[in-house]
Amino acid sequence: MPNLKIAIVPVTVFQQNCSLVWDPATRRAAVIDPGGEPGKILSNITRLGLKVELILLTHGHLDHAGGAKALKGELDQSSAAPIPILGPHVADKYLLDSIEEAQKSYNMSGLRSVTPDRFLTEGEVIELGPLRFDVLHVPGHSPGHIAFIEQTERVAFVGDTVFKQSVGRTDLPFGDHSALIAGIKGKLLPLGDDITFFPGHGEPSTFGAERQTNPFLQD
């Protein structure tokens, strides 16, 4: 991946994979799913010398979006222009609006409800220097869940859709297992066996490995 570098920063008790993604030539960067611990994320941004231009959200669950507002506030203080929060699909607005209430169920504090600068829809392309992230709407884990695909570098950031040897939970409110499996099989796997994907929790894998061995994706 000569034009794409990735650092994973696990955050909160959920050990959610916040992804720092950047162009090594310019250090222009995006933060994907800052679910909490903005100070930890910021320290890694500083350590790597990154110039964050975007905050991207795959979906609205608190462990993926709960740190976005605070992180934006910190980054805006040292940025020439406000850092936009983009995504997820508008169908997850109710989740983003209820983060502060939802955290009480997990005895958590410090997470903040957030309104993105713009919701995203399938077919959009998010640009970061030479990088191009295609937006796919893959509901099921949540109604507004999206994935970001960098076709040239053959990398995907899939949130809580598919994992190594597993798939996202659908027992949460508004979950839909059939829709999730259909989205994985119909939208993600056809992108190519060689694509490496980074899930919201756990280790990366490839679409090819999951197509062949993931027990939830076998016919």
Q: What residue spans define the domains of the chain?
A: 5-217
The pLDDT profile of the chain, 219 residues, written as one tens digit per residue, is 578 999 999 999 999 999 999 999 999 999 999 999 999 999 999 999 999 999 999 999 999 999 999 999 999 998 889 999 999 999 999 999 999 999 999 999 999 999 999 999 999 999 999 999 999 999 999 999 999 999 999 999 999 999 999 999 999 989 999 999 999 999 999 999 999 999 999 999 999 999 999 999 998
**CATH says 5-217 is which class?**
alpha beta
Cα–Cα distance, 35 to 147 (Å, whole number): 16
Per-residue pLDDT, 2: 72
Residue 88: closest CA among 137, 150, 54, 41: 137
Per-residue pLDDT, 80: 87
Per-residue pLDDT, 1: 57
Residues in the chain, how many? 219
User: What is the DSSP track for 69-104?
Assistant: HHHHHHHHHT-SSPPPEE-S-GGGHHHHHTHHHHGG
Residue 189: closest CA among 215, 150, 153, 156: 156
Per-residue pLDDT, 178: 98
Contacting residues for 39 by C-beta, under 8 A, at least 6 apart? none
